[in-house]
Structure 1
Amino acid sequence: MTDLDAVRSRLGSYEPGSIRGRLTQDDYGPARDSGGAADLKAAAVLIPIIAHDTGPALLMTVRNARMKRHAGQVAFPGGRADPGETAEETALREAHEEVDLPPGAVEVVGAIDRYRTGTGYLITPVVGIVPPGLPLTPHEAEVSEVFELPLAHALDTANHIEDAAEWNGALRRYYTIDWRPQRVWGATAGIIVNLARILGS
């Protein structure tokens, strides 16, 4: 689904429900998150959809290679929630801090199911539509570059590739989505897969 009116309609009436992990909510195993959502750190990401006339695209960031965590990975703008913030406030603040995306330029259309990570975060993805041509400036300390991933490519299930790797002594499954030269994987790809399921249902 790449028609933005249809995206607005679907997400405007969508009620986030389950907490998801990469492929299933039990994928990380009981050792790290058996306590449930209350023991996880609240975070949010903005899924910015750029409303190009030629076809919408997702605004993606590449994290600075010098960062201590997730260096060089493709991600949505986002981060840990400050005390008292809503998920929408966190997502908009982080997007402004990371790429200078003005909060007032974002048409927030809804949130999707929260996503639990193996590093102890519970992420709320907030979907927003933004106009094309905004002068975005990556904050160098966190973001090395931004790029656009066509929404049609991101939502196409043929591009959702399952993979697995050993982490902390156990085999962990995850998705990858290739858009050369970039490779989206892990939590970010998992969130895109969840979005595709919601929009396709």
Structure 2
Amino acid sequence: MMRVFDDATRRNITEACAAFARLPEAATPPALKRAAVALALTEDGESNDTAFLLTLRASHLRAHRGQWALPGGRCDAGETPVEAALRELDEELGLRLTGADVLGTLDDYPTRSGYLITPVVVWAPDSAAIRPNPDEVASVHRIALATIERDDAFDFAVIPESSRRVIRFHHRMSLIHAPTAALIYQFREVLAGRHTRVTDLEQPVFAWK
């Protein structure tokens, strides 16, 4: 279902996020570092649908180079996940947003690489302001919400190294795995009014470090 990028869509997504029963936030385990990503909603210029921004990480980065990711990163000392997500949007894509643009947050997701990621849903109306930082971002892509609502957008696989299912998001000719796929999947479920948990969804072995 297409969602036109307008005030009515913003209200609907805000209400869906508010109705979502987020898991209670527990103290961060000592082994995990706090991080945040932004599910930044903007207009898909081709379809007029609401879309979220997905980046391809620069090939020269030390960690997770060349992988698909939501804009985000580690929280600085004393920084909240919302503050971190907004800062990373500015640093990676040149988008300067404020707390007034935040629509909600989803469940924290613990990663195999030692992070506890908070997904922050934000409204980014000025898509013309997007300026990818080449030090961090190879390219930025708009993914229409109608894309993630297709029945064949996600699948689940099993691996011998874990009893948990690996989630995969099909994007063009690529397979995008957790944590990114898990966070996008939960957002899709929130839009549909379903309180679906994703912390039990596994990452592929290459993302464990």
TM-score, normalised by the number of residues in structure 2: 0.78
How far residue 14 of structure 1 moved from its aligned partner, in angstroms, is 3.1
* 2:112 is the counterpart of 1:112: no
Question: Relative to structure 2, which stretch is displaced further, 146-155 or 178-187?
Answer: 178-187
The answer for the alignment partner of 1:139 in structure 2 is: 133
Structure 2 residue aligned with 1:8, among 9, 14, 32? 14
For 1:58-137, list aligned pairs within 5 A. 58-104=52-98, 107-137=101-131
Shift of residue 144 of structure 1? 0.5
Q: Where is the strand percentage greater, Structure 1 or Structure 2? A: 1
Residues 177-192 of structure 1: matches in 2 within 5 Å?
177-192=169-184
Q: Distance in 2 between matches of 1:89 and 1:4?
A: 20
Cα distance between partner residues in 2 of 1:125 and 1:113: 7
Q: Which residue of structure 2 aligns with residue 23 of structure 1?
A: none
Higher relative contact order (CA 8 A, sep 6+): 1
SS in structure 2 of the partner of residue 191 of structure 1: helix
* Partner SS for 1:103: coil
Deviation at 1:18, TM superposition (A): 5.9
Cα-Cα RMSD:
2.5
Amino acid at match of 2:144: P
C-alpha separation in 2, matches of 1:64 and 1:55: 27
* 1:149-189 per-position Cα deviation (integer Å, ceiling 9, x unaligned): 111212334311112446xxx24642222221444222100
Distance, in Å, in 2 between the alignment partners of 1:14 and 1:186 is: 21
For 1:48, the equivalent position in structure 2 comes to 40
Structure 2 CA distance for partners of 1:158 and 1:119, relative to 1, 3 Å: same
Structure 2 Cα separation of the partners of residues 138 and 105 of structure 1: 21
Query: Shift of residue 76 of structure 1?
Result: 0.6
> Is 1:156 matched with 2:161?
no
Match of 1:198 in 2: 190
- Equivalent residue pairs, number: 183
> Do the aligned partners of 2:168 and 2:177 also contact (CA within 8 Å) in 1?
yes
Identify if the C-alpha distance between structure 1 residues 151 and 142 changes in structure 2 by more than 3 Å, giving closer, same or farther.
Answer: same
- Segments of structure 1 that go 5 or more residues without pairing to the other structure are 20-34
Letter in 1 for 2:23: G
Contact kept? 1:62, 1:73, Cα under 8 Å: yes
2-structure distance, mates of 1:103, 1:71: 26
